[in-house]
Structure 1
Amino acid sequence: MRENLLFHWNRIREKLWVKPLLVSLLSVAFAFLATLADQTNASVWVPDVSTDSIETLLNLVTSSMLVIAMFAVGAMVTAYASASNSATPRAFSVVLADDTSQNALSVFIGVFIYGAVSLVALQNDLYEHAGRFALFVVSVLVFALVILTFIRWMDSIARLGRMGNTIDKVEVAVAASFVSRLKQPYLGGKPGSNSTTLQGVPLVLSKVGYLQRVDMPSLQACAEKFDIEIEMVVLPGKFCTPANPVAFIQGSPQQQIDCLAELAAAFYLADQRTYDQDPRFGLIVLCEIASRALSPAVNDPGTAIDVIGTATRLFHQWASGDNSPDDTVVYDRISVPSIREVDMFDDAFNGLARDAAGTVEVSIRLQKAFVAMAGFGNPAIRSACLEHSRRALARNELAMTLPEDIEAVRRASLCK
């Protein structure tokens, strides 16, 4: 249940209209809650606030908030476009989920609605003595909230959409995905056999798309209901088609057939990949950012070097967490294949090494990163570092024309 809620909450966070709608509803509620003060004895001791002073404050709030909200939307759209164009369109979702910008836009729209509703209610004598004072206090607090929010948002929007900020947000998303996968290396199931000759009835999906997530609790419940075993052959991030099975069902023949439709509903397919259960997707996004920075049109090797440093930190996190995984089997009827470090290295460095083959400073930094990651104490990561160091050096030898550059890269590599 927690995993389902977290997955849907992350999808909701990517919708720009959700928070403004919620804050708008709350603003209307606050405008009418001020009338509750008239049902108490507060009118005996609170000062009498004139209607004109409250109207002046509400008019100021209402007239300015709509303009600020429109300005906020324009600035956010510009930042989102900058993130997609300068980094990669695959980074758009993490930039769109920026809480500071969404909160600021929500406050601006909510305060505008609050001011309009409160002004209409005030002009129609909805508030009495205590209610006017309560409305005045709330309006002053709302005005202060707007000022603080605007100052904080201006500091954030100056960075939103910038390359460094986008890389940082992708790193945070990948790190969170790493933590989740390291906690449950097999998504809570049993280790898969990784065999190419699996027995049982193949489970195929009728749709085509990327596997965003697997509803493990539903699979376990279905397996217990039909008394079957499930051997998954794909992980989230896989591009699935009806021609390729996602799992094999083992049990009595009739039970295998009866449960197929129910099992298929636990596999969520969509047009795009997400970061939640797919650690490799973030590595692909980082590689795309570096490749675009190395294109002749951009020619920004510094960004590629920044991405290499980011990938090194992430693999250090993976190597450190991989030493003590949680081997608790929550779903004992489901076998899940492991994620391979060599595949993660392919995602993170293949495109980068190809596009940096002729750039000596990036190639040297890449080789130094391989040397550093080889010392993390993870045998699989060390093996991947040796292979990718060899490949990158072979590309350098083909792309570079100056022998001194090739020798400098060779000295920095693991292939000395």
Structure 2
Amino acid sequence: MKTHIATLIENIRASFWFIPVLMTLGAALLAYAAIQIDLIFGDDWLRSFGWLFINNPDGARAALSTIAGSAITVAGTVFSLTMVALTLASSQFGPRLIRSFTRDRSTQYALGTFVATYLYCLLVLAEIRSSTDFTLVPNLAVLLGIVLAVAGIFVLIYFIHHVSVIIQAQHLIAVISDDLQETIRRLYRPALAPDSDEAQQLKQAAEMHAQIGEDGGVVPAGASGYLQAIDEDALLELAHRRDLVLDLAPRPGDFVLAQGALARAIPAEAADEELAREINAAIVLGAQRTPHQDLEAYIYQLVEIAARALSPSLNDPFTAMTCVDRLGAAISLLDEMQPPSPFRFDGDGHLRLVVNIFTFAGAVDAAFDMIRQYSRTQAPVTIRMLESLAQIAAQTKRADRRAVLQRHADMLRRGAQEALPEPHDLSVVEERYRRVMRAIGDRASPSAGCSPRHKRRK
């Protein structure tokens, strides 16, 4: 249930309607409160506001009508500018990047400000009374309407500036990169010491999982869609209650086919219809990938910007190089972290759940494979990718991760040798490749961190 709620909250955050609706409801409450204060305390204390104090019913109606008409007109302008930005983002950066625009809080607050001001003025207008026997002008409510109008002017100025900023590639790349690094810190944790008790437990669980092999009964998926989230607590409780081990095949971000293999239950006879129903209830499927538990979704957003920038229609290698820099920073941060364990244990220490995790090698492949394929003839991008690999290799300590970086450096080198005709470009690529190899060799040597020059001085 907690995972379903978290996914719902993430989808609400990415929606364009939630903040404006809240602000509109808040405007209705503000109008009611202001009118009630006017009825209770009167208007004598407001006369000190001078020309802002409007006690004439016709003047109050004229002021509120003008503000309401202007607010709804500007709200339409804000909506139009937003649609232009979304159209531009979809065509230039890719349709999957629209989510980053709809999540933008400044745009939501700007639209909500003008819609809320419009509703506020309408509600206050309805309370103005004027007849031969009775006159009611809610002076505080009218004054607040004027204040909202003045605030709306500054909101509009800021929004125009903000739109000019968010459509820039550099800004969008920075926003996605920040979200990517925040997700890494949320899903991962600092690396464990190899000899720690937890590390030993994970090693034993890996050996136990290898012994299980392909045994177990297949649990089918109930529907097709992208796996958005997994409620691991519910699955762990289910496995403990039924005294079995669940091996979940897909991970968040994978596309699941209806009646396809969703999990394996061990022992095999436990894979009945009731178990399938409970497992399907513990996962969230959707029409698109969401980054709540899917780190690869953010990586692919940066990759998509880079791939489009390298297309012949745009031919913008600088944007692609910026994406490479940001991806390199994310991979570097990921190298410092410990991926979540694929093994989940119950309170008695028994292995109950095995999940499919996103590895360091998978992250490097997702970040660099497609860009490498699109940039075979782009020497600057190839060079920048090798520089990024050298920076990552200079800090990684694990041999398996250095092997991943070397594999990508080798592929970049071979691609450049086959696609770049200019000898000077090839010589630069070779020099950057040697940097990667030196960084990998230095970290692999026992005296890593001590340069040859320092050795000679000793």
CA drift at 1:392:
0.9
Q: Deviations over 1:106-131 (max 9, x none)?
A: 11111111112211222478x977x7
1:108-147 matched pairs, under 5 angstroms: 108-123=114-129, 132-147=138-153
Task: Give the secondary structure class of the aligned counterpart of 1:121.
Answer: coil
Structure whose CA Rg is larger: 2
CA drift at 1:209:
2.0
CA drift at 1:225:
3.6
- Contact 2:60–2:142, Cα closer than 8 Å, also in 1: yes
State the match for 1:238 in structure 2. 254
Deviates more, 1:134-143 or 1:360-369: 134-143
State the match for 1:383 in structure 2. 403
CA drift at 1:378:
4.1
Distance change in 2, residues 1:8/1:304 (3 Å): same
Q: Distance in 2 between matches of 1:223 and 1:326?
A: 17
Deviates more, 1:394-403 or 1:114-123: 114-123
Distance change in 2, residues 1:338/1:261 (3 Å): same
Task: Give the secondary structure class of the aligned counterpart of 2:228.
Answer: strand
Give the gaps of 5 or more residues in structure 1.
none
Q: Deviations over 1:366-385 (max 9, x none)?
A: 11111001112242442221
Task: Give the secondary structure class of the aligned counterpart of 1:198.
Answer: coil
State the match for 2:196 in structure 1. none
State the match for 1:55 in structure 2. 61
Task: Give the secondary structure class of the aligned counterpart of 2:108.
Answer: helix
State the match for 2:357 in structure 1. 338
1:229-308 matched pairs, under 5 angstroms: 229-242=245-258, 244-251=260-267, 253-254=269-270, 257-308=273-324
Q: Decide which of 344, 348, 352 is 2:367's aligned counterpart.
A: 348
1:3-402 matched pairs, under 5 angstroms: 3-43=3-43, 45-47=45-47, 49-50=54-55, 51-123=57-129, 132-183=138-189, 193=206, 195=210, 197-242=213-258, 244-251=260-267, 253-254=269-270, 257-322=273-338, 333-379=352-398, 380-402=400-422
CA drift at 1:279:
0.6
Distance change in 2, residues 1:71/1:121 (3 Å): same
- Contact 1:228–1:256, Cα closer than 8 Å, also in 2: no
Q: Distance in 2 between matches of 1:107 and 1:279?
A: 34
- Contact 1:203–1:264, Cα closer than 8 Å, also in 2: no
Distance change in 2, residues 1:2/1:383 (3 Å): same
Q: Larger RCO: Structure 1 or Structure 2 (Cα < 8 Å, ≥ 6 residues apart)? A: 1
Q: Distance in 2 between matches of 1:29 and 1:243?
A: 50
- Contact 1:311–1:348, Cα closer than 8 Å, also in 2: yes
Amino acid at match of 1:260: A
Distance change in 2, residues 1:273/1:124 (3 Å): farther
Q: Distance in 1 between matches of 2:154 and 2:343?
A: 46
Identity of aligned residues (%): 20
Amino acid at match of 2:362: D
Amino acid at match of 2:355: V
| Aligned Cα root-mean-square deviation (Å) | 2.8
TM-score (norm 2): 0.81
Distance change in 2, residues 1:243/1:45 (3 Å): closer
Q: Distance in 1 between matches of 2:291 and 2:130?
A: 51
- Contact 1:228–1:255, Cα closer than 8 Å, also in 2: no
Amino acid at match of 2:275: C
- Contact 1:87–1:292, Cα closer than 8 Å, also in 2: yes
CA drift at 1:206:
2.8
Q: Distance in 2 between matches of 1:233 and 1:339?
A: 12
CA drift at 1:256:
5.2
Deviates more, 1:67-76 or 1:51-60: 51-60
Q: Distance in 2 between matches of 1:288 and 1:81?
A: 16
Q: Distance in 2 between matches of 1:37 and 1:169?
A: 43
Give the gaps of 5 or more residues in structure 2.
48-52, 192-200, 439-458
> How many residue pairs were aligned?
409
Distance change in 2, residues 1:251/1:39 (3 Å): farther
- Contact 2:127–2:138, Cα closer than 8 Å, also in 1: no
- Contact 2:225–2:287, Cα closer than 8 Å, also in 1: yes
CA drift at 1:31:
1.6
- Contact 1:95–1:169, Cα closer than 8 Å, also in 2: no
CA drift at 1:252:
8.2
